[in-house]
Structure 1
Amino acid sequence: MIEAQAPAIALLVSDEGGRRVLVRTLTGLGYRLVFAAAPDRLQLSELRAVAADLWLLDVPDECALSDWLLDCSPVPVLLGSGEIPPAQHEDHVRWQRRLRSKLGELLDEPPQVPLLQPALATPVLRQQRSVWLLGASLGGPAAVKQFLDTLPAEAPVAFVYAQHIDAGFEHQLPQILGRQNAWRIRNCIEGSQLQHGEVLVAPINRMLGFGPEGQAQLQDGPWPGAYQPSLEALLDQLAGAFAPHCGAIIFSGMGEDGVAACGRLRQQGMEVWTQSSATAACATMPQAVRSAGFSSREGSPTELALALHQWLEQERAPDA
């Protein structure tokens, strides 16, 4: 698949509006966006953890992070994308061509896809209607990876992955989970749209919500409550944006984060599944959901993947 082979691009862009346009444009051109942020409040260790084929920078002249990338980055660095014309203007397509040409000079295998047209955005998942939360804590990465290794990436579903983990490991999760499967796993990018075949990693230190068209919206404040990220808050956000075509799977973990929100999903007729105690490294979190009466199915990660594949096929059948 082209998506699985597309070059990975990381953005360090100060202007939020420009960053959103670049995210839409680059994903529309077939590239994989693995990182997109402003330099404010970023640590050098966060940049070092990013695995990309190219960095695109648009930051003030005095920026220590951009200086480090220019001096030490093992991959090409593109300084600036040029002035971005309004999306409706005829010069916007010309700007896209110039940007793609610059990227093509720096990357060995740029994606071969048509240019976007003015005001044409990446297809919105809200029209495709299937987003599930994968929630986990202690023992979660191994369980979720087993689940993704079993479920074909062609399945008509996207995932938001909420993992209780130290913020220093957040940007390593896509590499950990993406080995040996074709899922496109990426860290959260402001304004990006969830597409089928993708797994969006919820940020640790910033709350994630979704806009009216299902686009990711990052807030400056932290997650409410004791857990980072908060399954409770994220489940409510997911239901508000994608219901009734969403669900949740609670994997191995400690604590009882998300139990009440799972109940609200079930009250609206949506699926909540849990990893079985016998297969979980820590069964406290999925067991709390089951004890509350909110789990509609349980099983090992492999069993849950096979069941979801069948469930999705049944849901799609009436529209086939």
Structure 2
Amino acid sequence: MSNHPIIGLVHVGKPQASALYLADQLKTNNYQVIEVDAEEFSIDDDVDTYIINLSDDDFNIESVVDKLTDAGMKIVFNDTQVANDLVGWNKNRWLRHILHKIDVKHDLLPAINTERDVDSLDLIDFGIQQVWVLAASIGGPEAIVRFLSEFDGKEPVLFIIIQHMDSEFVGMMVKQLEKNGQIPVKLAGSGVAVQPGEALLVPVDESIVFQNNGRLAVKDVNQNRAATPCIDDVCADLISQLKFINLAVFSGMASDGIMGASNVFDNGGTIITQTAESSVVSSISDEVRKMKMSRFDGTPNEMAQYIKEKLTVGD
């Protein structure tokens, strides 16, 4: 048996072209690769990292995720159908991200060296009464689309979306979230104006800052972050800039977000959670509920109605 690290590729549904390409690239980078169908999955203790290759399939992956989590295994998610369409530079970025998740010794991306001074900002001056951070991981995009579709775009609310993803999927993520049909979704970048009734998607390779003119700037990302983007880091950044933020926790499998929720809670913000029954994976919200920080627990549609009702009564 070779001493090279072993990677387990779990195929959900028919193995996709990008997953097969990934297997070849892992072997090129001196990894051993074991491939298994999700429906026949069992844990191999010799495996160092499991990559779950997601596809448009009815198979419920939560049982696989639970087994891996209970065994303390390292898990990487890969959206194979999105990766199928990547070419050239974007395909290289995707591969580098996967390699970095497996082992941080792999170079990720060059650091961004933009420096901006930021003053405190009162968002009331820009028609924004509440800021809601929408935190999600696996299963999050579908939940957030359902959530945003309940609004009419006239509410005095700014939504800030923190969705775990790789940088090459950002453009596709904006398009997917725009399918809510009610709330415009923008990638948060330098010069973007903050406005009520809109949603800002936090980028992967930059941290956002609010300027006193109502526009965003960017700064270097924390290179030691737990995820891309990192819910804990973004919440800490926002709390340092804004008086109050609130947090809606959607479907997701990660520990990233627990510290962020604690900080929001300690800062006086409201936290609501998506029910376990309506989530693809409920790890983040489960932990928030255990810590008794969630004020309301509901489906994505019910979470939106909760916010709208509180806006009406002025709470």
TM over 0.5: yes
Q: Please name the residue that 1:148 is paired with.
A: 148
- 2:171 corresponds to 1:171: yes
Map residues 130-149 of structure 1 onto 2, 5 A cutoff.
130-149=130-149
Task: Determine the C-alpha separation between the residues in 1 that align with 2:314 and 2:237.
Answer: 23
Say yes or no: does 1:251 pair with 2:250. yes
Equivalent residues of 1:132, 1:247 under 8 A apart: yes
Q: Which residue of 2 aligns with 1:266?
A: 265
Match of 2:311 in 1: 312
TM-score of the superposed pair, with normalisation by structure 2: 0.58
The corresponding residue for 1:125 is: 123
- SS of the counterpart of 1:274? strand
Distance change >3 Å, CA 195–CA 278, structure 1 → 2: same
Offset of residue 215 of structure 1: 3.4
Q: Which whole-Å CA distance do the structure 2 matches of 1:312 and 1:224 have between them? A: 37
Q: Secondary structure at the match of 1:278?
A: coil
Query: 1:193, 1:216 within 8 Å by CA — same for their partners in 2?
Result: yes
* Aligned residue-pair number: 197
Unmatched 5+ stretches in structure 2: 1-87, 92-120
TM-score by length of 1: 0.57
| C-alpha distance 286-214 of structure 1, shift in aligned 2 (>3 A) | farther
What displacement does 1:212 show?
4.4
SS at match of 2:277: helix
Aligned residue runs from structure 1 range 40-55, under 5 A: 45=90
Distance 1:168 1:204 in 2: 9
Kindly provide the CA deviation profile for residues 251-278 of structure 1, in whole angstroms up to 9, marking residues without a partner as x. Answer: 0001121212212222232101111101
The secondary structure found in structure 2 opposite 1:255 is: coil
Shift, 1:225, TM fit: 2.1
CA contact under 8 A between 1:124 and 1:213: conserved in structure 2? no
Q: Which runs of 5+ in 1 are unaligned?
A: 1-42, 47-122
Q: Secondary structure at the match of 2:132?
A: strand
Partner of 1:218: 218
Q: CA deviation at 1:126?
A: 4.3
2:97 is matched with none
Is the Cα contact below 8 Å between 2:134 and 2:247 reproduced in 1? Answer: yes
